[in-house]
Amino acid sequence: MTGRWSWFNISSVVFGFAFLYLPIVLLVIYSFNESRLVTVWAGFSTKWYGELFRDQSMLNAAWVTLRVGLLSATVATVLGTLAAVSLVRISRFRGRTLFTGMVYAPLVMPDVITGLSLLLLFVSINFDRGFWTVTLAHITFSLCFVAVVVQSRLVTFDLSLEEAAQDLGCTPFQAFMKVTLPVILPAVVSGWMLAFTLSLDDLVIASFTSGPGATTLPMKIYSQVRLGVTPKINAVCTILIALVTTGVLIASIMNKRRAMLDARAAREMS
């Protein structure tokens, strides 16, 4: 490895990035297309965005998705963190291996099966399908992802930190809140983000468990596409991409700033 820019290196980087991002770039470009036809360029326009914001059903779907995402990610984060803590902490309890396996299983379970089984459950207990069933379904599957993310952090967490907090006067609950949680917070936050993203782009499980009046954005987009792709869909997708990108950027900037502040504090004092 010389670290030089050879033609081979450059072309593989270009090809790789093109493969990943070209479709997205095209989608964004065509969202500003004047033409009704998605594939024919007819000049720059933002009219599809205007149209999008006048489309009440699309806005409703976006609102439902946002609410489902926020609620399910938050609940899943709380439950998933608790599951991870007890799995790591209580090293020997009856059925620990079984329980651990059962937390991981939904990760590899096909969405269709998860969706169908939840649908059967809701039907059999006569639960009216709608906003709450989608939210419950999303909590169910994203909980496992949160548990896995938090658990991987907790494995390297020094338990004596918590004991030290207790030794200095904390109840076990205070010790968790003041020491454990702040230390594992990055993992909890990324667990939340993962859960939120999963909920945001889930189509299959939502289709199974949703009912009238609770159409999520992916469901809406999918049904619209079946009637023909309009640049309006491109516009929705562009907004989603912008949101996600902003979120990722903010998170990484915050991380970097904190690291810089730490380093500066250390420099000033030494």
**Minimum distance between the CB of residue 74 and another protein, rounded to whole angstroms?**
22
Distance CA 195, CA 116 (A): 20
**Minimum distance between the CB of residue 162 and another protein, rounded to whole angstroms?**
9
Q: Among residues 128 and 167, whose Cβ is nearest to another protein? A: 167
Distance CA 158, CA 183 (A): 10
Q: Which residues bind another protein (CB under 8 A)?
A: 158, 160-161, 163-171, 174, 179, 182-183, 262, 265-266, 268-270
Q: Running DSSP on this structure, what letter comes out for residue 176?
A: I
Q: Among residues 26 and 168, whose Cβ is nearest to another protein? A: 168
Backbone angles phi, psi at 55, to 5 degrees: -85, 100
Query: Residues 46, 33: contact at Cβ < 8 Å?
Result: no
Closest CA to 33 of 48, 55, 52, 51: 48
**Minimum distance between the CB of residue 172 and another protein, rounded to whole angstroms?**
8
Distance CA 263, CA 115 (A): 48
Q: Which residues pair with 44 in a beta bridge?
A: 33
Task: Name the burial class of residue 67, with classes exposed (0-12), middle (13-18) and buried (19+) by CB atoms within 10 angstroms of its CB.
Answer: middle
Query: Residues 47, 230: contact at Cβ < 8 Å?
Result: no
**Minimum distance between the CB of residue 83 and another protein, rounded to whole angstroms?**
23
**Minimum distance between the CB of residue 156 and another protein, rounded to whole angstroms?**
12
**Minimum distance between the CB of residue 164 and another protein, rounded to whole angstroms?**
4
Q: Among residues 4 and 92, whose Cβ is nearest to another protein? A: 92
Closest CA to 58 of 254, 236, 230, 198: 236
Q: Among residues 24 and 159, whose Cβ is nearest to another protein? A: 159
Q: Among residues 155 and 265, whose Cβ is nearest to another protein? A: 265
Q: Among residues 170 and 240, whose Cβ is nearest to another protein? A: 170
Query: From the CB of residue 76, how many other CB atoms can be counted at a distance below 10 Å?
Result: 28
3-class DSSP assignment, residue 33: strand
